[in-house]
Homo-oligomer: A and B are copies of this chain.
């Protein structure tokens, strides 16, 4: 059996990440084991370790692609607050496991630090641009609302069917007075 013609590392990493993401979205993160993942890819576990140092690094890589996609989704939306907010919540609702990897699962991704990866910065910019203010406090609060709504709704902890009303109220509050 000839060993398959090793593709370069980047595209291999990409394939692994995509498969992991797909597997998580369909069966949950607990189903994303190295063995299962390797099986779905048609290889054995050690191959995964030649692409990533361990499972955590793989999850971080998946989360990173999530931030890239989120940044893209926000960037594609109208810069007006309501559109951006809708885009954020839609992204979280459409990719619940991915969003989980980005925010809920233990992660080694630095954030408000110097070595914050570019995608994270861009994703936050997508929120900040819609809620500009002098020092970024408003943007951080806006992000908190969105994140809170996204996670609580994902956990079925808010009244279903009132999502629209919550979004409208949140928008109204955030864009009401110029603060201070």
A170 to B155, Cβ gap below 8 A? no
A141 to B156, Cβ gap below 8 A? no
A6 within 8 A of B: no
A169 to B179, Cβ gap below 8 A? yes
Question: Which of A110, A152, A157, A162 has the most B CB atoms < 10 Å from its CB?
Answer: A157
A95 within 8 A of B: no
Measured CB to CB, the closest approach of chain B to A36, in angstroms, equals: 18
- Interface residues of A: mostly helix, strand, loop or mixed? helix
Q: List the number of copies, as a whole number.
A: 2
B140 to A159, Cβ gap below 8 A? yes
A-B contact list, 16 entries, CB within 8 Å: A30-B106, A111-B156, A135-B162, A137-B165, A137-B169, A140-B152, A143-B152, A144-B144, A144-B166, A144-B170, A146-B148, A147-B152, A148-B151, A172-B177, A173-B174, A173-B176
Which 4 A-B residue pairs are closest in the complex by CB-CB distance?
Answer: A148-B148, A144-B148, A111-B157, A147-B148
With A111-B156, A173-B176 already in contact, 19 other A-B pairs whose C-beta atoms are closer than 8 Å: A30-B106, A104-B104, A112-B156, A135-B162, A137-B166, A137-B169, A140-B158, A143-B158, A144-B152, A144-B158, A144-B166, A144-B170, A151-B151, A169-B179, A172-B179, A173-B173, A173-B174, A176-B176, A176-B177
Interface residues of A (CB under 8 A from B): 30, 103-104, 106-107, 110-113, 135-138, 140-141, 143-149, 151-152, 155-160, 162, 165-166, 169-170, 172-174, 176-177, 179
